[in-house]
Structure 1
Amino acid sequence: MFQSPSSVVLSTQSITPLPSDLRSGLIVASVFGFISSFTSLGLFLLLAYRFIRWRQKHQRFPNQFLFLILNLAFADIQQSLAFLLNVQWLGSNGIFIGNNTCFAQGWFVSTGDLASGVWCLAIGVHTFADLILNFRLSAGKFVAAVASLWTFIYACAVIGIAMHPKDYYVRAGAWCWVNQQYDHERLYLHYLWIFIAEFSVVIIYATMFVLLHYRIRTHAISTAESSHARRAAKYMVIYPIVYVFCTLPLASMRMASMSHDPLTFTALTAAGAIITSNGWLDVLLYTLTRRVLLLSNADADSALDEKRGLDTFAFRPDYGWGTTTTITALKIKKGGSSYHHTHHPSKSSRSGSRAMTRLGSRQGSEEELWRHHHHQRGGAGVEGPGVTKETVVQVRSEPMELTEFAGMGYMKEIERTSSFDSAQEEKLPPLARIE
């Protein structure tokens, strides 16, 4: 494939027709831009809907992790839109400066790239404070912090435009962005903060990884939660890898161009396709590792805002680790009078609880307990006032890793039954507890 000379790549003027290597690269970048736009917008709309519904129902601020991911999705939308606009250049067979499309693309590149880095870092800092320091901002301070970060992101773009209103966004190689003549603006209003975000994200997640493993080894984390903590630690390796992988190639090339190192359209568009993939990779990453926040039933989960620390890394959207036991009904009738009690689901997050079901036990199994005593009076065979107890127990278990049973040496199913006569019935509490 023909490689365009570096002088053509570095020119800030319009270019038409598109060189073959530039056209091919823009097609690839546009495809990944479309994928990221579609997935990021879908995640944003889902989270926004859940955010509004949950707040309307419970009248308080939802989970802060959830809100941070919502902001990250909005940042990824802006970043992916910048590269989706390459479709315009493909359709017109040229990149033209001084029009609205060029300005919009330059704006979305500036705000989207920076916002993606800022919110990846914000999620890392929030996770560290919550998981390691057990600290979380109040709702008011949290909202103020979010507003401050968006103000900073847009201020960096506005300052550059205010300094150079006529030619700030021009052709910058393979698409429109900050004029290469303004190296200081590129550095201090954009790439400096991206490099800070990259470095900080790596340090924060590496520190959390080390501290989590230290707490596991020193038994600062309970045995029941150690497997969950190990899984969370593995995820913490992925977050910085994905962000650095997506942003470092293009940032390095742009910094090299400031030293007048030669660039090619192929290299630039390949780096553009990688950085715009940040959107769909974020959607995939957070959907898989924070499913309990993103996919749980927010309308039913009144404690969504209370999920913290390791709880936010759970796989299951409906329930946590271990065995879930639901007692759906209990009716006791004695001496002609009766009362009814309904117990809501109780969730155990400890794999080491006293009541365990065998690995691979059937989901949604139901056990009906029925007891009936008949008493006779006066030897006439007349049935007197009796005691009737009916309990419907629904047991649900989820698969667990064998490491969660390490040191136990065996697994078994425990079935607890009890019997009592009518005299002992008076001592029973309204609701028997199954452990």
Structure 2
Amino acid sequence: MSVPFSTYQPAPTHLTVDRHGLLIVAGAASLSLFATLFLLLYVTVLSIVSKQKPGCTWASARLVFMQTSFGPIFLNLVFADMLLAIGLMHNFINFNERGAVTASITCTSQGVLIQLADVASALLNLLIAIETFIILSNGPMLSWYTQFSTVGIWMLSCCFAVLGFLSFSSLELHSFYNWNGAWCWISPDYLTYQITFHNVWIWLAATGLIALYGTLFSRIRTHYKGEGHILRRSSIVLPPSSPSTISSLSGSQSNTSKASKRQRVGSKGLRVVARTMLVYPISFVAYSIPLTVISLIENYRRSTLSPVVALVLSTLFALRGAIDVLAFGMTRNVFILRTPAAPAYDEEQLTPTSPHSIRNQGRFPWILTNLKI
């Protein structure tokens, strides 16, 4: 016999409601929602300005990354983070109702949004890492691969979000999505489904990010050290050389001096790119893995390890939208703080002057665009 959502109240567990914690998590989610909406509006405005004024380099330079094969994946990532922020902002409703309303429509919708968006965001992060690794490993650019992979990620995430709800919501136990500490999510009574529908994919994404970006970090700093021109196919923006370096190199026109110029510019740029490779896995692991591990332990032991630590990790998790926007926006030149001057003396030009000029530069067009710190 099933129990109606409106009348069933489960027995109290260790997952008690901290009303102040609800506001903190919801406030952090509001910042993520603002960041994701700002980025989408920002890109829209840049696109309009770029089309109306084709000669406006201010707008076109910031759109180069968005016009690569990474652009659609990144926009899907931002959309997933936006859904996650909306789901976490349900805590405002829980606060007004003096606690979570278990087995309710509000709780269920929050659980579905968090489950859907968290898995999708993690796998989209992994997809960006895979494509980055392929391109910088001299592999081919497969636009169809990224398109089908993106669609597949959303389909898989939707299945994980609704299958459990449709299968278990009518049992005598409380709803599949129920209060889980700081928000509504898969009930602790379904620990196996927490692992198979969610945790495994988060751990898979984290492992992939660490392995792929760690390999690129090591390879860039060692195997490709001093060979900045090898990144030409990826159109990576490198820091400008100092005036003294430029003046000292521009005097000689011999092949040896030109090779030296390329090496000195490339070596500095590769160090920048290598450091950038660590930004993405560090940020993802920071806002995902500790919370996942602690939640799993608490649900298994039915006891709270540390309410303060749980609140801090939950707040960091709620900020993931803002973190992703800043991480990619700053390192991929979506938000340009300074634009390195292109060295006019180097025929191995690393920075395209416009998105249109890149299309004719060979097999590997503007892929890992405008990486900088």
TM-score for the superposition, normalised by structure 1: 0.61
The alignment partner of 1:177 has SS state of strand
Partners of 2:329 and 2:266 in 1: how far apart? 22
| Partner residue in 2 for 1:216 | 224
Where 1:184 maps in the other structure, the secondary structure is helix
> SS at 1:259's partner residue?
helix
1:283 aligns with 2:287: no
Give the match's secondary structure for 2:188.
coil
2:267 aligns with one of 219, 222, 226: 226
Give the direction of change, closer, same or farther, for the CA distance of 1:257–1:45 in structure 2 (3 Å limit): same
Give the match for residue 118 of structure 2.
Answer: 113
* 1:259 alignment partner AA: Y
2:39–2:325 CA contact under 8 A, matched in 1:
yes
Structure 2 counterpart of 1:160: 164
Q: C-alpha displacement at 1:200, in angstroms? A: 1.1
Contact 1:9-1:265 within 8 A present in 2 as well = no
Alpha-carbon distance in 2 for matches of 1:251, 1:96? 23
- Residue 127 of structure 1 corresponds to which residue in structure 2? 132
TM superposition shift of 1:90: 1.2
Shift of 1:242: 0.6
Normalising by the residue count of structure 2, what TM-score does the alignment of the two structures yield? 0.71
CA distance in 2, matches of 1:240, 1:308: 19
Distance between the aligned counterparts of 2:73 and 2:47, measured in 1?
12
Match of 1:302 among 356, 368, 373: 356
Contact map agreement 2:225 2:267 (CA 8 A) in 1: no
Which residue pairs with 2:250 in the alignment? none
Q: CA deviation at 1:267?
A: 3.8
In structure 2, runs of 5+ residues without a counterpart are 1-10, 55-65, 231-261, 340-353, 360-364
C-alpha change, 1:142 and 1:303, in structure 2 (3 Å) is: farther
1:142 aligns with 2:200: no
The structure whose Rg is larger is: 1
Instruction: Choose between structure 1 and 2: higher helix proportion.
Output: 2
Code of the residue aligned with 2:371 in structure 1: it is F
Counterpart CA distance in 2 for 1:285 and 1:44 is 15
Residues 135-162 of structure 1 show CA distances to partners (whole Å, capped at 9, x for unaligned) of 2103x34322211111111111122122
Change (3 A) 1:209 1:95: same
Counterpart check, 1:43 vs 2:39: yes
- Give the Cα–Cα distance (whole angstroms) in 1 for the partners of residues 358 and 100 of structure 2: 48
Contact map agreement 1:205 1:236 (CA 8 A) in 2: yes
Q: Is the CA contact (8 Å cut-off) linking 1:23 and 1:90 kept in structure 2?
A: yes
AA aligned opposite 1:79: L
Which residue among 282, 296, 321 is the counterpart of 1:241?
282
Cα shift at 1:235: 0.8
Deviates more, 1:89-98 or 1:220-229: 220-229
2:185 matched to which residue of 1?
177
Q: Which has the higher contact order (CA 8 A, sep 6+)?
A: 2
In 2 relative to 1, CA 99–304 (structure 1 residues): closer, same or farther, beyond 3 Å? Answer: farther
1: distance between equivalents of 2:358 and 2:50? 9
Other-structure match for 1:256? 297
Q: Does 1:206 align with 2:214?
A: yes
Paired with 1:24 and 1:41, the residues of 2 have a C-alpha distance of: 26
Confirm whether residue 97 of structure 1 aligns to residue 102 of structure 2: yes
Contact 2:226–2:267 (8 Å) recurs in 1: no
Once the two structures are superposed, residues 361-399 of structure 1 have per-residue CA deviations (whole angstroms, 9 ceiling, x without a partner) of: xxxxxxxxxxxxxxxxxxxxxxxxxxxxxxxxxxxxxxx
SS at match of 1:10: coil
- After the TM superposition, which parts of structure 1 deviate over 4 Å for at least 4 consecutive aligned residues? 48-57, 218-222, 292-296
Contact 2:108/2:177, CA 8 A, preserved across alignment: yes
Aligned alpha-carbon RMSD (Å): 3.0
Alignment of 1:183-194 (within 5 A): 183-194=191-202
> Secondary structure, in 3 states, of the residue corresponding to 1:93?
coil
CA distance in 2, matches of 1:132, 1:67: 21
Shift in Å, 1:244: 0.3
Measure, in 1, the Cα distance between the counterparts of 2:38 and 2:152: 26
| Distance in 1, Cα, partners of 2:47 & 2:13 | 45
CA 1:164–1:45 in 2, change beyond 3 Å: closer, same or farther?
A: farther
- The question of 1:312 aligning with 2:308 is answered no
Residue 337 of structure 1 corresponds to none
Instruction: Choose between structure 1 and 2: higher strand proportion.
Output: 1
